[in-house]
Amino acid sequence: MNNSEVAQVFEDIADLLEIKGEQIYRVLAYRRGAEALKNLGRDINTVWKEGELEEIPGVGKAIAGKIDELLGTRKLEFYEKLKKEIPLGLLEMLKVSDVGPKKAARFWKELGITSIKALEAAAKRGELRDLPGMGARSEARILESIQSLRRRQTGRLSIGVALPIAEQLLAELRKHPAVKAAEAAGSLRRMRESVGDLDLLVSTDKPEPVMQSFVKLPIISRVRSQGPTKTSVELVDGLRVQVWTHPSARFGTALQYATGSKEHNVRLREIALDQGLSLSDQAFKRDDGSEITCAQEAEVYERLGLPWIAPELREDRGEIQAALDGTLPELIELADLKAELHSHSTWSDGANSIEQMVKAARAEGHRLLAITDHSKSLGVANGLTVERLRKQRKEIAALRKRLPKGFVLLHGSEVEILADGRLDYPDVVLAELDLVIASLHTSLRQSREKVTARLLAAIANPHVDIIAHPTGRLIGEREGADLDMDRVLEAAARSGVILEINSNPQRLDLNDVHARRAIELGIPLAINTDAHHPDHLAFRNYGVGVARRAWATAEQVVNCWRPKRLRDWLASRG
């Protein structure tokens, strides 16, 4: 063990003792010991071998004894015992700034929270604010800190967090009287599932005052560099933002350049060169030095003899050839979605009644909603027994009578695919449902062979209409199952089952690459939000982003079908 590893053990001990509520002087003794080890200019193993542990300033007899045990036996009894008393997830929780040992202990003892994930869920449900010493503000701060921690760990931020921040910044920029237009570019505009930083473009003829007021926004913690045409800042949660200004006559080339991707831009520049033009973020330049400027992005493509290419396609995945051939897909749009096929109510782990979910779906402009609560084995989600499922069916039948004409309410279920590959309800029960979604939530860490076989079994069941979030990944938190995706897609194509693009920004599962393969194989897709709350219905925006990145048209996404067609299709299955 090196110095910092030994120091880490003592830091952990100090944290664990503090969570436990030990006397503060004992806690401090371990912290001092850890500090001393970090500042020790020599290798701790040498000091130990020479019997000089107690001579280290800040290390008393007790700590010296523990270092001796640790280096001699590679274990520390005291530490092992503590780790058994206190869930280790609490140490992980301390990495969230705004969560100290006292708060961690309180979350654990009063709410049973032992992981960052559980902490996040509780904060989202508003359960932390009522604890002593907490409030709505500190609850919100904890959520922000969790995001920021995740970002530090991966270096990238989820689109679900980045997009609302970008919209907020753009709204602020657009308020300035000198700003003619402000748009997000970069990976965010291309709707990638995560972004490294934000690239914002501003059209203005008076850049200085715009930049000066921008850097004063309270969400900005640090200005990294500031100039009239380019400013780089860091937000309070650590996210980096670049702002570029361009005169409106050059905004088209600027937006095209900054949207990327780099690989797509390289291709465009090659085409430009073939025509004797060099293309930059400023303009096209001829050999004689004269310029062609573009105020609109479409003019850039037009000049190159191409139709405008949607940002989501700009990944050098064949979009330029398709543009040349005139075979670009007519991409699905948000407004094409008319149905939500995956949603939860208070019958399982949703936050609202079926009636409230119907109301919310109608407000979103949907013409069809499927309620698909969890099945019985998912105990943590209050899954429905067959008896409760049948009761729910009655409630839905009664509710249908009160619905306005033309709105369709389906009774479905999100049925667990059990660890052995069987479904959580027998076929006779599945046959009673309007819609059956099958999904994996547990035993995701099984071998590739086993977990793939489970999914294949579900796909082969003629009662199953949709496979939800196929890999089960939670971005930044948990890897998806180790599926053999080729076999899954082949089987889906054969059985005619629908594969879901789950729109929750933590899932985005299928991802863009798999969704594109699915489309190529003729597999129908669903874009569902898996709403556990009316607000979640708005997540479909992210699902549409994935679908567009997968080159999907409205025809290929069943949520865009008319309710009648959808019901006929469902009725035609097992």
Binding site for Ca ion (CB under 5 A): 186-187, 197, 199
CA pair distance 550, 331, nearest whole angstrom: 9
Nearest to Ca ion of 187, 528 (CB atom):
187
Residue 262 binds which one of ligand DGT, Ca ion, Zn ion, none, with CB within 5 to 8 A depending on kind?
ligand DGT
Rounded to 5°, the CA angle 258-262-265 comes to 80
Contact 68, 44 (CB under 8 A): no
From candidates 101, 160, 186, 524, binder to ligand DGT by CB under 6 A: 186
Q: Which is nearer to Ca ion, 186 or 470 (CB)?
A: 186
- State the nearest-atom distance from the C-beta of 520 to ligand DGT, in Å: 25
Measured from the Cβ of residue 457, the count of other Cβ atoms closer than 10 Å reads 18
Which CB sits closer to Ca ion, 200 or 566? 200
Nearer to Ca ion, 197 or 490 (CB): 197
Instruction: Tell how strand 339-340 and strand 291-292 pair up.
Output: unpaired
**144: enclosing H helix or E strand:** helix 136-154
x/- map, 198-217, ligand DGT, by CB under 6 A: -x------------------
Bridge partners of 341, per DSSP, are: none
Closest CB to Ca ion among 187 and 231? 187
Q: Among 187, 439, 471, 511, which residue sits at the site for ligand DGT (rule: CB under 6 A)?
A: 187
Question: 390 φ, ψ to 5°?
Answer: -70, -35
487 is written with which tokens? Answer: 């076999």
Instruction: Tell me the closest approach of the beta carbon of residue 386 to Zn ion, in angstroms.
Output: 19
Number of residues that bind Zn ion (CB under 5 A): 2
Print the binding letters for residues 254-293 with Zn ion: x by CB under 5 A, - otherwise.
----------------------------------------
Is there a contact between 119 and 91 (Cβ–Cβ < 8 Å)?
Answer: no
Given Ca ion, ligand DGT, Zn ion, none, residue 265, with its beta carbon under 5 to 8 Å by kind, binds ligand DGT
Q: Which does 414 bind (CB under 5 to 8 A by kind): ligand DGT, Ca ion, Zn ion, none?
A: Zn ion
Q: Which does 329 bind (CB under 5 to 8 A by kind): Ca ion, Zn ion, ligand DGT, none?
A: none
Residue 323 binding ligand DGT, by CB under 6 A: no
Q: Is 476 in the site for ligand DGT (CB under 6 A)?
A: no
Q: Which of residues 237-266 bind ligand DGT (CB under 6 A)?
A: 257-258, 260-262, 265-266
Using CB under 5 A as the binding rule, the residues of this chain from 514 to 543 that contact Zn ion are 530
**CA 234, chain centre distance (Å):** 21
- Strand, coil or helix: 126: coil
Cis previous bond, 510, omega within 30: yes
Q: Which residues, at least 6 apart from 474, have a Cβ–Cβ distance to it below 8 Å? A: 506, 507
Of 363, 336, 374, nearest to 559 (Cα)? Answer: 336
195 is a contact residue toward ligand DGT (CB under 6 A): yes
| Residue 197 binds ligand DGT, judged by CB under 6 A | yes
**Residues 443-472 contacting ligand DGT, CB under 6 A:** none
CB 431 within 8 A of CB 574: yes
Q: Which residue's CB is nearer to Ca ion, number 159 or number 499?
A: 159
> What φ, ψ does residue 392 adopt, rounded to 5°?
-60, -40
C-alpha 53 chain-centroid distance: 48
Residue 235 parent element (H or E): strand 230-235
Q: Show the tokens assigned to 386.
A: 């067959």
Contact region with ligand DGT (CB under 6 A), list: 55-63, 196-204, 359-367, 502-510: 196-204
- How far apart CA 79 and CA 281 sit, in angstroms, is 58
Pairwise CA distance, residues 430 & 433, whole Å = 5
What is the layout of strands, in order, in the sheet containing 291-292? 278-279, 284-285, 291-292
Using Cβ positions, the residue closest to ligand DGT within the complex turns out to be 260
Q: 500 is in the binding site of which of ligand DGT, Ca ion, Zn ion, none (Cβ under 5 to 8 A by kind)?
A: none
The residue within the footprint of Zn ion, chosen from 414, 424, 434, 509 (CB under 5 A), is 414
What residue ranges bind Zn ion (CB under 5 A)? 414, 530
What residue ranges bind ligand DGT (CB under 6 A)? 186-187, 195-197, 199, 257-258, 260-262, 265-266
